[in-house]
Amino acid sequence: MADIGKRIREKREAIGITQEELATKLGYKNKSTIAKIENGTNDIVQSKVVEFANALNTSASYLMGWEDKTRNVQQTQISQLDKDLLHKYHYIDDKGRHTVDTVLEMEYNRCKNTSDSNITKLEPGKDKHT
């Protein structure tokens, strides 16, 4: 499980949260446990792998190294805007997430179904502000 700490750090950084924020989310008293896990000093117990995966918006399979690594490398190559949005989404409650999901789905479908040439389709990981 030596590489699990590396994958945890990569996912944490990709979604733009600090060690302290991850520790709080998982019920640890402070960031030192997260730091030790990420640098390989401490392992995490098997029962915590799923909690880490949920907190990091990934799968336990990825954290354990069982998924295709190339797929996950592509997932972590996102823009700063994407990271900021994920960070905000991470901290809203269920009602807020439902609202965001509903509006996002409606707008996605509107843009996908329109032939308006003024709408710019962006590749994942790109943002129109850069």
| Domains along the sequence of the chain with CATH | 4-76 (1.10.260.40), 80-130 (no CATH)
**Predicted local confidence at residue 118, as pLDDT:** 47
Q: Find out whether 89 and 78 touch, Cβ atoms under 8 Å.
A: no
Express each pLDDT in 48-83 by its tens digit. 999 999 999 888 888 988 875 544 444 455 677 888
> Helix, strand or coil for residue 3?
coil
Express each pLDDT in 68-125 by its tens digit. 554 444 445 567 788 888 888 888 888 988 999 899 888 888 887 775 544 455 555 5
Express each pLDDT in 1-59 by its tens digit. 568 999 999 999 988 899 999 999 999 999 999 999 999 999 888 889 999 999 998 88
Q: Which whole-number Å values give the CA distances from 41 to 1, 35, 72, in the listed order? A: 11, 8, 24
Burial of 7 from C-beta contacts in 10 A (0-12 / 13-18 / 19+): buried
